[in-house]
Structures are given as structure tokens and as C-alpha cells.
Amino acid sequence: MYIRRLSILLIISLCCAVCGCQPQPAAPPPAGQGVTTPPVVRELQHLIDSGARWDGPQAARRLAALKDSALRAGPVASGYYYFLEGIHYWYADSNQAAINSFNQMLPAGRPDTGQPADLVILQQLGWLQVRLTSKIDDSTFSRLFHLISLAEQHQYAGSWRVYDLAAEIYFRFGDYDKAETYAAMARDSYPVTDDYFRLSLFMEERSRIYERRHQYRQALQYQDSALQYALQQPDTIRLATVYGALGVLYEKNGDKPRGHALMEKAFNIKEKINKVSFREYLNYGQLHQEKKDYSAALHYFGKALEKARKDNNAGNLSDAYDAIRQVYYDKGDYKTAISYLDSAANMALEEQEDRQLRKIVEIQALNDLKVQQQKTTDLSRQYNNQAIIVRQQQVILLIITILLALGLLITFLLIRQRKLVTQKMSIELEQRLLRSQMEPHFIFNTLSVLQSFIRRDEKEKSVKYLNKFARLLRLNLENSRHNLVRLQQETEALENYLSLQAVRFDNLFGYTIHDIPAEESSGICIPPMLLQPFVENAIQHGMRNIAHRGHISITLQLQGDQLHCVIEDNGQGLQPPKNKDKNSLSSIITQERLKILSIQTGKQASLSITDKAGEGRTGVRVTLIIPTQRC
């Protein structure tokens, strides 16, 4: 198929070379360049180039004062105005209003080649900024690559802004090496040497990258540089943000007193100007909780809960309820703690449902975007065809043919490489979706057990079970945010889960975990929540209605770059399903995840389930082969 397409393109190229082609017209010069530049255009350019803060009432008043003169001054001034208006809406979390403003920057229906280059770049920047609040996928990177190419092709004066956005996209995607590369390019290409606000942001961006790598010493060095710049500029929010980030880093580096002092300093600055965020209220409450100042902790956790309710954010509501639950648990008020745990779990389930709904909406939006992009491509092609004029001579036929053939070959190779990268990203996204389907299933079953204890008024068992469940839930929620977790963490989760279930079943069964020595498993990572569903099946189905004491054995072995895991029990064995058409949800999801993992890594991944009745024994043996990765 590729060879056929390449042959067709070569034939077209030969025809074009025979007739001769006029090169595409150069893109128009950056907007605002000309014989005379209206004052309003210069003022708007200054606002954009200064990197000023565009949120808050002051920015709104400034834009309102410029609106009439900007819209009367022509397409360049109006384009600049709508860009600033869109950024202002984006800061205010009004994404739809921001998109509407960005769409008004340029006349609809005209291809990019007929527009001022800097307005096209600014519009693309605005669209990508909005996409950061939803998700990052192949279309995000496609737009980013096009934007970088456009900025470099036209030597865009604000290219630092493009590189800075690229660094943020790669940071959120988890590719910290590329994030650091683009962050350095943004800093090096920034033309203003005394803009301490922006320089502070550049240093903080590098610090965040090293923090994600758990290299806290280097992160502290960059954050300290960010502080030195922040002290030389007047923005108090910027200064408070740096203090807060520096405090977190000192705490992670082991210096808790200094870290807490800096975080309190940042909090006090923001509280005076009413700019405290949900996460900052939560962190400040945790500081007081660590000091056992429960009254203050509940006060600030309550503030965090108010903000979460105002924003209607299920994830934040879950975190706030769980934080309040922990305070009441520490105080010994277990009844209140249980009620808040129930609220936290309900919000966690609601967040999962919202996430699934958002995925459906995003898929629909992506399809609409592809249709719109195709229309834009068709318009651009029509415009280019009209611009082609036969002017070149037959003498240069051979040279043009060779150059076009080489260009097509290189383009073919680049497209093929990009498709491979896109396929890899799609596989990773699909794997996250499949893994997320297991979490509500686990939480529902566990809460049902806790409910039964409470109904039977088994207080001691309820408290013990609640404590173990809280630790396990926190570990599972932390692991669910990552595609890979350390093998020791997964083993710890299994240990907690088995201990939890042993309490539930009054030690009806015992268990052993034959783990891998720490020196061998160090740095080994696997996908989370692969083993626990089969341990759950062994307990739920294998340990029921047996006359002897049950036992579950888990054996882990490393063989090269594969983890061999055997989960074995002495229960009643495999039972025929009541509904022949119904398969085990955990088995189906795990098989799909292993299939995707095998495609992604190029290594063998398998699952086998054996009834030991064929060996003259009771029970079931589950054997998993999981590709491992270094982390």
C-alpha cells in the first residue's frame, strides 16, 4: 500500500516537474509590521510580549478599555485583542468562552497561508492551552509539532512561548527529558533579561521536572533560583507560590521544620489576598494535623471542602472527606470517621463515573475536530492549487524530480515513524482505561464487608478492618495514577489485602507470599492491580463452604525480564458458572491488559487457570507471566 502511494506521488511529481511549478508564496510578514502601526496595535503587542498576568479584575478592566479601539483598528488589532481575551477566559476556567475568543482571531474559511503568521501561531497557542485542561493525545502532539514547525519556519519572535508550552505538554504527558529540553529552549530564547516574573517561572518549571524525577537536591537548587528572581518582582502571588513549592521540596528532602515554615509563609500571603486554592487549604490542614492541632486541621479541611463543593469537583471532594476522616480517626471518633469514609468512597466512585463520561465526550469532540481539520486541509489544498502557475523550465526537470523523490521518501519515513509513536500512545491510553475499570469493583466489595460488620455491631473488628482498608485504599489510589509501580509496592498491596480479608473471614484461611529478595526486585516495575483480582477470586470462591482450613500461596520468581507469578489455593476448585454466557470480569480485563502489555513491550505475557482436581488435589492454580520494566 505504501509503495503504491509513493509511486502515485512520484508520477504526480514528474508531471508537475514537466510543466514546471511556481514556489508557494511566502507567508505574510508578522502582523503589525508595515509603514505605520496604529497605537492600539503597539499596546496590544506590548501586552502579549510582556507576558503579563491576564487574570483578575485589573486585566478585565484593561481589556474592556481597549476593546472598541482594537475592533475598529482592523484585523490585526482585533486578532490580538481576541487572543488576550481568550487567555483571560482561560485563566478564569471558562474554556468554552476562551475557545470562542480564539476562533474570532482570524476570519473563518481562509487557509493559514493567507493569514498573518504571528496571528496563526497565537491562535494555535490558545487552542493548545485549552486542550491542556482536558487531555493530551495524538491530536495534541500533532498540533504541537505543526506549531513548532510554523514558529521556526517564520522565525517567530515569541518562539519562547511555543517552547514553553511544549515543555508543559511533555511534562503533563510524563516525558520529563523532552520537557527539560524544551524548558531550556524557552529560557534561552526569551529576549528580556530583567523580567524577573518570567525568569522565576522558568526556574520553577525546571524544579518541577527534577521533583517528578525524585531528584530533590537539584529541584531545590532551581526553586531557590526561582525565589531569588521572585523577590525582585512585585507580584505577591508569584512569591507565595515559590515559597510554597520550596517548602514542599524541603519537606521531601527531610527538613520538615523549614519546609513547614515556608509553607505557612506562603499560605499567609495568599490568605491575605484571598487567593488560597483547594490543595493549599488541604496541605495547610495536614500541617496542623501532623502537629496534632486537630481543631485547626478540621477548620482548614472544612475550607478545602467548601472550595471543592463550590467547584463541584468529585476528586477534590473525595480528598477533603478522606482528610477529615483521618482527623476523626486520630481523635478516636470512629463513628464520625466511618461516615466521612463513606462520603469519600462515594465521591471516588462518582469521579470514576465522571472520568468515563468525559472520555466519551472527548472521543466525540476528537471526531468533530478531525472532520474540521479535514475541511481546513481541503480549503488549503484548493488555495494552493489556485496559486500554482507554470513557470519553470524543462532544463531543471531532472533536478526537481530527484529532489521531490527524496522529499517524498523522507516524508514517508517521518509519517511512518509518527504513526508508530501514535499507536504506542493509544495503547497506553487504552491500558489506563481497562485498569480503571477494576477500581470501583474492588471498592464496592470492600465497603459491603465493612457495612456487614457495622450491622452486626462488631465494633472492634470494624475499626481494625477500617484501618487496614484505609491503608490499602490509599495505596491502590496512589498506584492507579501510574502505568507502572514498583514490584515491592504491588507485593505490599497484596499483603495488606490478604490481611484485610483474613480479618473478614475470622482466619478461615492462611496465606504465604514467597517474595523475591529485595536486592533482586529493586528497580523492577509492573502494571498495578494485575495480581489482586485473582487473590480475591481465590478467597471469594475458593474458600467458601470447605470443611478444612484454607490456604493461599503466592510465589513470585524473576526469569530474565519476566515475572512468573503462581497463585494457588486448596479450596473447592473451579465451579461451573450458573450462566454459561457469563465470564469472569477480572479474567477478561486482565487478559486484555496482558494482551496490550505484550504488544507494547514486545515480550510474552500470558494467563492460565488450572483446576487441581486433575492432579488429585483440591483448589485452583493461576499462573501469570508479566513483562517487567526498569524504573
Quote the cell numbers at residue 630. Answer: 526498569
pLDDT at 545: 82
pLDDT at 348: 75
Summarised one tens digit per residue, pLDDT across range 29-72 is 444 444 477 888 888 888 887 655 555 567 678 888 888 988 98
**Model confidence at 107: pLDDT above 60:** yes
- Partners of residue 567 on adjacent β-strands: 554, 622
pLDDT at 110: 54
Hey, what's the torsion of the CAs at 608, 614, 616, 621, to 10 degrees? 10
159-173 and 117-131 are packed helices; what angle lies between their axes, rounded to 10 degrees?
A: 20
Cα(494)–Cα(174) distance, rounded to whole angstroms? 27
CA 268 to chain centre: 30
**Model confidence at 154: pLDDT above 60:** yes
Quote the cell numbers at residue 231. Answer: 523577590
Cα(97)–Cα(125) distance, rounded to whole angstroms? 16
pLDDT band at 530 (very low <50, low <70, confident <90, very high): confident
Indicate whether 533 belongs to any domain: yes
pLDDT band at 314 (very low <50, low <70, confident <90, very high): confident
pLDDT at 512: 95
The rounded mean pLDDT for the chain is 80
Residue range 205-223: mean pLDDT, rounded: 93
Q: Residue 486 belongs to a domain with what CATH number?
A: 3.30.565.10
Indicate whether 549 belongs to any domain: yes
Question: Do the Cβ atoms of 529 and 438 come closer than 8 Å?
Answer: yes
Which DSSP string corresponds to 462-491? HHHHHHHHHHHHHHHHHHHTSS-EEHHHHH
**Model confidence at 605: pLDDT above 70:** yes
Range of the domain at 442: 437-573+586-630
Residue range 312-325: mean pLDDT, rounded: 86
Summarised one tens digit per residue, pLDDT across range 390-400 is 566 777 888 88
pLDDT band at 163 (very low <50, low <70, confident <90, very high): very high
The dihedral sign for the CA sequence 492, 493, 496, 499: negative
Summarised one tens digit per residue, pLDDT across range 249-274 is 998 888 888 988 898 898 888 888 88
pLDDT at 502: 83
Indicate whether 216 belongs to any domain: no
pLDDT at 607: 92
Q: Going edge to edge, which strands form the sheet with 550-559? A: 509-514, 550-559, 562-569, 620-627, 606-611
Q: In a 10 Å sphere around its CB, with 0-12 CB exposed, 13-18 middle and 19+ buried, how is residue 465 labelled?
A: buried
CB atoms within 10 A of CB 201: 20
Percent of the chain topping pLDDT 70: 80
| Alpha-helix residue ranges (DSSP H) falling in 213-255 | 216-230, 236-252
Indicate whether 522 belongs to any domain: yes
pLDDT band at 91 (very low <50, low <70, confident <90, very high): confident
Percent of the chain topping pLDDT 90: 21
* Contacts within 8 Å (CB) and 24+ apart, 311-318: 311/278, 313/278, 314/347, 314/348, 314/350, 314/351, 314/354, 315/347, 315/348, 315/351, 316/278, 317/343, 317/347, 318/344, 318/345, 318/347, 318/348, 318/351
Question: Do the Cβ atoms of 13 and 373 come closer than 8 Å?
Answer: no
Question: Do the Cβ atoms of 438 and 586 come closer than 8 Å?
Answer: yes
Only one residue has cell 521572585, namely 230
Cα(343)–Cα(337) distance, rounded to whole angstroms? 10
Where is 418: in which H helix or E strand? Answer: helix 397-436
Bridge pairing between strands 629-630 and 620-627: unpaired
Indicate whether 50 belongs to any domain: no
Residue 94 DSSP class: -
- Secondary-structure percent of the chain, ordered helix, strand, coil, rounded to 5: 70, 5, 25
pLDDT band at 20 (very low <50, low <70, confident <90, very high): very low
Cα(81)–Cα(48) distance, rounded to whole angstroms? 10
**Model confidence at 162: pLDDT above 90:** yes
Indicate whether 254 belongs to any domain: no
Residue range 410-439: mean pLDDT, rounded: 66
pLDDT at 283: 82
What is the rounded end-to-end Cα distance, in angstroms, of the chain?
A: 39
pLDDT band at 131 (very low <50, low <70, confident <90, very high): confident
pLDDT at 99: 86
Quote the cell numbers at residue 66. Answer: 481597549
**Model confidence at 565: pLDDT above 90:** yes
pLDDT at 31: 46
Indicate whether 315 belongs to any domain: no
pLDDT at 180: 94
Among 8-17, 124-133, 588-597, the least confident range = 8-17
Cα(600)–Cα(605) distance, rounded to whole angstroms? 11
Cα(465)–Cα(478) distance, rounded to whole angstroms? 20
Bridge pairing between strands 509-514 and 485-486: unpaired
Indicate whether 603 belongs to any domain: yes
pLDDT at 438: 46
Q: How many domains does the chain have?
A: 1
Residue range 466-491: mean pLDDT, rounded: 81
